[in-house]
Amino acid sequence: MARPTSAFRCTECGWTTAKWAGRCAECQQWGTVAEAGAPQGITRTLHAVEPSVGRGARPIAEIQTEDAAHRPTGIGEFDRVLGGGIVAGAAILLSGEPGVGKSTLLLEVAARVAATGRRVLYVSAEESTAQVRLRAGRTGALHDELYLAAETDLATVLGQIDQVAPDLLVVDSVQTVSSALSDGLPGQPSQVREVASTLIRVAKERQLPVLLVGHVTKDGSIAGPRLLEHLVDVVCQFEGDRQTALRFVRALKNRFGPTDEVGCFEMTGDGIAEVPDPSGLFLSRSRNAVSGTCVTVALEGRRALPVEVQALVVTTKAPQPRRVVNGVDPSRVAMIIAVLERRAGLKQLGEHDVYVSTVGGVRLAEPGADLAIAVAIASAMRDRAVPHELAAFGEISLAGEVRPVTSAAQRGNEARRLGYTTILDVEAGTVHAAVERAMIAASSRRERELDAAF
């Protein structure tokens, strides 16, 4: 008689193996391999069921859109990311690094919504009610329509929803709530999938918007199964360095609005505050022109932001010069240095250490900052300070050409609005011409300063 064998199957991708493994060899997910049930040999037939009254298919033109209207939360920057506000029945997932301010932001959102007369239920599965109450008192997020509960069991959370009957539900976080219908510890893929699917089903049935807090892994991705991001309607990522006060909220997925918007916030002692116009956050406060600085106009979503790039070039005797960067891509800086040496006549850069950084902790990942980085390095190399009214944006190719970037007109208009009268962009033609133009402007400025001194 043949010995029965058991198979193990990944619940995420379907990969099978004869032995249990803690990590799926196909999709590389942890804790998703479970023993597959033996086939019973029973064939089940699925019968058609007549839809209930009012739920039958109708012509698309007859369907009303009032239920999908956005309701503002009272925080303009958060509403900007969501596309105008929260939609009834929407499931919104907010993820971010530990300590970046996710709970503080959602507590402020809950208080603003409660101030409009809508009842809000805030379920904390990580902190006690007393701890949340202390933070709410410090940030001023106290309101009679804001209800607070500390629960980790999904069934109890559903009971709280039935009792309070809220207009908005906040769950902090989805990885710390567990269900008795699923095996495993809280945070495992099976538990996260069960908790998220149940809360989303409740949201759709009751037209109850749900805000879920999600943890992230070491590489910055959302913890739990990938199915979680597919189930929810909106996925927002809360970004920011804990060493600085600036925070960004980006929409990675949005079924009710654009995904290219970004919201700016600032962490203060009284909580979190929105920054409607962050134009001056990424510029230095020095009034005296210093060599090695240049301003570019970066595009964050649909918002153009001026960012100052700083460079420092120092002579070195080491056989391998150092290239230290902060806030920019190291590979692009290395490419720009090579182009400056080969195409712009800065032959001695190979004998110098080069340091490049941005002001305010902002990260520049787009190629539109290439020209500003090149001008800053050339300014530091020749020790000539470019004028305050000069801004540069453009992509640099290996041939030394300045290539156009997206939304160039919007960048130029924002630069002129802030007082930058000299703009280096694709019209410069080559990086050599752009650098020489910046150096001529720097020399003219120096001559005006000397004339004024005498």
Residue 151: how many other CB atoms lie within 10 Å: 18
Regarding whether 200 and 303 lie in a shared domain, the answer is no
Q: Is residue 297 domain-shared with residue 244, that is, in the same domain?
A: no
Res 1: pLDDT: 43
Q: Are residues 84 and 207 in the same domain?
A: yes
pLDDT of 378 above 50: yes
Q: How many domains does the chain have?
A: 3
Pair 29, 79 in one domain = no
Q: What angle do CA 413, 81, 363 make, to 5 degrees?
A: 65
How many Å from the N-terminal Cα to the C-terminal Cα in the chain? Answer: 107
Range of the domain at 163: 73-274
Question: Which residue type sits at 409?
Answer: A
405 lies in the same domain as 442: yes
Return the CATH number at 335.
3.30.230.10
Domain termination site, one of 228, 243, 274: 274
* 348 and 398 part of one domain: yes
123 forms beta bridges with: 149, 171
Kindly state whether residue 14 falls inside one of the protein's structural domains: yes
Query: 321 - beta bridge partners?
Result: none
Task: Give mean pLDDT, residues 206-221.
Answer: 88
Whichever domain contains 210, its CATH number is 3.40.50.300
Q: What is the pLDDT of residues 249-265, one digit of tens each?
A: 989 999 988 887 888 88
Residue 336 lies in a domain: yes
Average the pLDDT over each of 271-280, 290-299, 350-359, 383-392 and give the range with the smallest value. 271-280
Residues 140 and 265 placed together within one structural domain of the fold: yes
Residue 226 has pLDDT above 50, yes or no: yes
Do β-strands 246-254 and 262-268 pair in parallel, antiparallel, or remain unpaired?
antiparallel
Task: Measure the CA–CA gap between 45 and 89, rounded to whole angstroms.
Answer: 32
Residue 445, pLDDT score = 58
Contact 283, 308 (CB under 8 A): yes
**For residue 317, what pLDDT band results from cuts at 50, 70 and 90?**
confident
Integer Cα distance of 434 and 370 in angstroms: 12
pLDDT at 10: 84
At 282, the pLDDT band (50, 70, 90 cuts) reads confident
pLDDT value for 450:
46
Model confidence pLDDT, tens digit, residues 160-190: 999 999 999 999 989 999 998 887 888 888 8
Residue 41 falls within a domain, yes or no? Answer: no
Looking at the structure, tell me whether residues 430 and 327 fall in a common domain.
Answer: yes
Mean pLDDT of the region 352-366: 89
Domain membership of residue 51 (yes or no) is no
Domain boundary among 246, 274, 302: 274
Q: Is residue 65 part of a domain?
A: no
Q: Which of 206-220, 286-300, 434-448 has the lowest mean pLDDT?
A: 434-448
Share of the chain above pLDDT 70, in %: 92
Q: Is the pLDDT of residue 426 over 70?
A: yes
Q: 316 with 250, same domain?
A: no
What's the number of CA atoms in the CB half-sphere (13 Å) around residue 27? 17
Does 19 share its domain with 149?
Answer: no
Same structural domain, 107 and 245: yes
453 vs 231, which has greater pLDDT?
Answer: 231
In this prediction, residue 454 carries a pLDDT of 45
Report the pLDDT averaged over residues 216-221: 78
375 and 440 together in one domain: yes
pLDDT at 39 over 50: no
Whether 247 shows a pLDDT value over 70: the answer reads yes
The predicted structure's pLDDT at residue 167? 95
Give the mean pLDDT of 32-59. 69
